[in-house]
Amino acid sequence: MKNENALMIALVILLIISGFLSSAAAIFCIVISIPVSVVEVKEVSLERHEIVEARPRPQAAEVRQDPEIAHTPVETLSATIILSFVGDCTLGENFGASSERSFSAFYSMTSPEYFFGGVSQVFASDDLTIINLEGALTDSEVKHDKPEPGAKYWFKGPPEYAKILSAGHVEIANLANNHAKDFGEEGYSDTKGALTAEGIEYFGGEDVLVREVRGVKIGFFGLSASAGSGLIKERILALKREGARVVIGSFHGGLSEITYTPIESQIKAARAAIDNGADFVVEHHPHVIQGIEEYKNGVIAYSLGNFCFGGHSNPEDKDTMIFQVILTKKGERISSAYHVIPAMISSHDDYNDYRPRVLSDGEAISVRAKILKLSTEAVASSVGLRQREN
């Protein structure tokens, strides 16, 4: 009996401490409460906003994102779902550009587990990790013709590089980008086959994807940022017909050189997605991070930048981020929150070792401040565009 009483007292103390810590942790979340439903009308209740560093996966007792459920008994909380999004991942390098500092050289010296080893604590603890796979996984050497002026690149790695994704806890790849078909339809088909062989799902272009996680159907689509609103609406409706309760759009576009402010096509594509029922939009292509905007009932991350990027052995700007969407299901109601984990594309400052890592301390503070500044600029650009249109 004494042992049982001692155990009960210990459990009560543990619950009190857990509640205190979870309440404190909630203060540092970027939080948006979005009731997600199949109907078009949605309400948004904006809570606290701050970009945070990596933290362990929330357990049931730690869920405090939504004021409506903040004091609900733990046993009534149905599920918490964490989705991690990252930017451009090129598993390989420009065709014919192999060197001692190339992606392939690092692969030959290491293992598939090496490349995402610096972020595995995040990817292993979420429910889904989604990357933008920029390049082909193929043995084909027949390059797709690129008549447009300017520098040209054909990114590829052998099909076995898909093992990097499965070893790195990546579940889904977006293929809607300007390098997925660098080796034509054959290379594109090879890429899909390589992903499927490793259990990696994909979406992009004509392919949409619905994944059910903890009883919630989540829909993904990917398009170019130059896509018209009609095509965007068509993809969203296709996902909702398949039962998607949450819709997330991925757009590839903007300027490929270092540009920290989204351009008109990026803003218009993201707005069209939110206007037509998407809940979150993530974008990539500029190769650097850009800001985040809360637009109407949704959230837009304008550029996630590079991540595991074999396309450059030493980019000048190595800052990146992991953009996480957190869904909380209570009965039939789904609310959402998001936060950003500051990261860097390399473990070294002076060259790219193709091993992204989560930042902490001063480095994280610096990237956090950068994202907040870029977000202010992104919102200003978006508002300016709306004013010009009106």
Q: How confident is the model at residue 151 (pLDDT cuts 50, 70, 90)?
A: confident
In a domain, 68, yes or no: no
Backbone dihedral angles phi then psi of residue 380, each to the nearest 5 degrees: -60, -40
Per residue in 4-53, pLDDT (tens digit) is 444 444 444 444 444 433 333 332 333 333 333 322 223 333 233 334 33
> Are residues 22 and 61 in contact, defined by beta-carbon separation less than 8 angstroms?
yes
Q: What is the pLDDT of residue 85?
A: 98
Q: Report the pLDDT value the prediction gives residue 210, as an integer from 0 to 100.
A: 98
Give pLDDT, residue 60.
31
CB contact set of 40 (below 8 Å; sequence gap of 6+): 277
Which segment of 107-111, 146-150, 304-308, 325-329 scores lowest on mean pLDDT? 146-150
Q: Tell me the pLDDT tens digit for each residue of 205-260.
A: 999 999 999 999 999 999 999 999 999 999 999 999 999 999 999 999 988 777 99
Tell me: the pLDDT tens digits for 286-341? 999 999 999 998 999 999 999 999 999 999 999 999 999 999 999 889 999 999 99
Q: What angle do the packed helices 361-389 and 264-275 form, to 10 degrees?
A: 80
Give a yes or no: residue 240 inside a domain. yes
Longest CA–CA separation in the chain, Å: 81
The range of the structural domain enclosing residue 293 comes to 79-389
| pLDDT level of residue 275 (50, 70, 90 thresholds) | very high
Residue 209 sits in a domain whose CATH number is 3.60.21.10
Q: What is the pLDDT of residue 170?
A: 98
Calpha distance 108→27 (Å, rounded): 44
pLDDT band at 98 (very low <50, low <70, confident <90, very high): confident
Phi-psi domain of 75 (left: phi exceeds 0; alpha: psi -120 through 50; beta: other): alpha
Residue 37 within a domain: no
| Helix/strand/coil (H/E/C) assignment for every residue in the chain | CHHHHHHHHHHHHHHHHHHHHHHHHHHCCCCEECCCCCCCCCCCEECCCCCCCCCCCCCHHHCCCCHHHCCCCHHHCCEEEEEEEEEEEECCEECCCCCCCCHHHHHHHCCCCCCCCCCHHHHCCCCEEEEEECCEECCCCCCCCCCCCCCCCCEEECHHHHHHHHHCCCCEEECCCCCCCCCHHHHHHHHHHHHHHCCCEEEECCECEEEEECCEEEEEEEEECCCCHHHHHHHHHHHHHCCCCEEEEEEECCCCCCCCCCCHHHHHHHHHHHHCCCCEEEEECCCCECCEEEECCEEEECCECEEEECCCCCCCCCEEEEEEEEEEEECCEEEEEEEEEEEECCCCCCCCCCCCEECCHHHHHHHHHHHHHHHHHHHHHHHHHHHHHC
Handedness of CA 192, 195, 200, 204 (dihedral sign): negative
Average pLDDT of the chain to the nearest whole number? 84
- Say if residues 25 and 324 touch (Cβ distance below 8 Å): no
Please tell me the predicted confidence (pLDDT) of residue 263.
95
Q: Report whether pLDDT(182) > 80.
A: yes
Query: Does residue 38 lie within any of the structural domains?
Result: no
- 64 falls in which pLDDT band (50, 70, 90)? very low
127: pLDDT strictly greater than 70: yes
pLDDT value for 138: 98
Judged against a pLDDT cut of 50, whether residue 173 lies above it is answered with: yes
What is the percent of the chain with per-residue pLDDT over 70, rounded to a whole number? 80
Q: What is the pLDDT of residue 249?
A: 98
The pLDDT score that the predictor gives to residue 347 is 96
Instruction: Please report whether residue 343 resides in a domain.
Output: yes
Q: How many distinct structural domains can be found in the chain?
A: 1
Instruction: Specify if 60 maps to a domain.
Output: no
- Looking at the domain assignment, is residue 179 inside a domain? yes
* Matching residue, tokens 């190339």: 102
CA distance 160 to 270: 34
User: Could you tell me if residue 153 is inside a domain?
Assistant: yes
At residue 70, the pLDDT reads: 33
pLDDT digits 0-9 by tens, 347-383 = 999 999 999 999 999 999 999 999 999 999 999 999 9
The answer to whether residues 224 and 175 touch, using CB atoms and an 8 Å cutoff, is no
Chain center to CA of 244: 18
